[in-house]
Amino acid sequence: MKNRFYAIALIILTAALLLAACGQQATPVVEPTQTPIPATATLTSTPDPCSQENVIVAIQAVHRLMREFDDASALSANTTREQLKPTIADLQRIRRDAEDQSVPVCLRSLKELQLTHMNTFIQTLITFMGGADQESVNQGIGLSRQLHDQYMIEMARLQGVTIPATPSPEPTLVDPKATPGTEVPTPSVAIVTNPGPGGINMRLTPSLDGQTVGMLAVGQSALALGQTDNGAWIMIEVPSQPGQTAWVYTALVQSSGPGPLPVISAAP
């Protein structure tokens, strides 16, 4: 009887141990996760906004506003004082767009010339609308044209169009009778063309301060008669006006034909 009691107790204890073991769940082992590290990292560089291929795109964006301003300016020439207000408002809108336009550091001078030209022209129109005398208005228009020329020159420089560092050889006219065996050189004749993107002022003297006598339109050509001693200005025959001459800035035109051009002395 006693042995039977021990046997039953052993069975109950064994069953209890088995139930306790079944009630426990194994805790899974979780390994820490790691972000995969790429074998090689790709390095990216910021494009240089002042490289030749990128700066051309930036120049075009700047000049788009300049052309829009030029178009609006041309309309003002045929507008009376009383009707100038809408034109001035349109010019001011374009000027604000130019002010807000972001440019790389290499175009800051170009933008400064652009804004100075715009401000000068707008202020001249405002003074004209306010009853300013004609002389003051002419001075303002002359200054704005000069700034426009400087803007065009700076744009040409940024596009890689440079003025020759050394002047073309100057042909010397010598009397054959005085120096035997010396021939009188035949003056060179060339054609200059305005390649664009805007009109080029033709001036009475080879200077940015020279009086404007007309505009060489985009695509228009003229006969080249000579150049200044430093090659910076070319004398041309005014298109459709035989015998009338004017000066254009060399960096803004394309020349074709034989050379060199004869040097023409002229007071700047």
**Banded pLDDT at 230 (limits 50, 70, 90):** confident
Angle between helices 134-158 and 52-76 (to 10 degrees): 160
**Banded pLDDT at 34 (limits 50, 70, 90):** low
Whether pTM > 0.75 for this model: the answer is no
**Banded pLDDT at 62 (limits 50, 70, 90):** very high
**Banded pLDDT at 259 (limits 50, 70, 90):** low
User: Is 80 exceeded by the pLDDT of residue 216?
Assistant: yes
Specify the pLDDT at position 5.
59
Once rounded to an integer, what is the mean pLDDT over residues 181-204? 68
Q: Indicate the Cα dihedral angle 114, 119, 121, 122, nearest 10°.
A: 140
Pairing of strands 245-249, 212-216: unpaired
Specify the pLDDT at position 89.
93
Once rounded to an integer, what is the mean pLDDT over residues 246-261? 82
The one-letter code for the residue type at 194 is: N
The one-letter code for the residue type at 256 is: S
> What is the rounded distance in angstroms from the CA atom of residue 268 to the CA atom of residue 261?
18
User: Is 60 exceeded by the pLDDT of residue 267?
Assistant: no
Specify the pLDDT at position 84.
86
In the chain, the percentage of residues whose pLDDT exceeds 70 is 70
CB-CB contact of 216 with 194 (8 Å): yes
User: Is 50 exceeded by the pLDDT of residue 94?
Assistant: yes
Once rounded to an integer, what is the mean pLDDT over residues 183-188? 38
Once rounded to an integer, what is the mean pLDDT over residues 208-223? 86
Once rounded to an integer, what is the mean pLDDT over residues 24-38? 53
**Banded pLDDT at 143 (limits 50, 70, 90):** confident
User: Is 50 exceeded by the pLDDT of residue 1?
Assistant: yes
Specify the pLDDT at position 90.
93
- Which range scores top for mean pLDDT: 37-41, 129-133, 134-138, 248-252? 248-252
User: Is 80 exceeded by the pLDDT of residue 187?
Assistant: no
In the predicted model, what is the mean pLDDT of the chain? 75
User: Is 50 exceeded by the pLDDT of residue 169?
Assistant: no
Specify the pLDDT at position 175.
36
> What is the rounded distance in angstroms from the CA atom of residue 104 to the CA atom of residue 106?
5
Specify the pLDDT at position 227.
87
The one-letter code for the residue type at 241 is: Q
Specify the pLDDT at position 268.
46
Tokens of 223: 């006969």
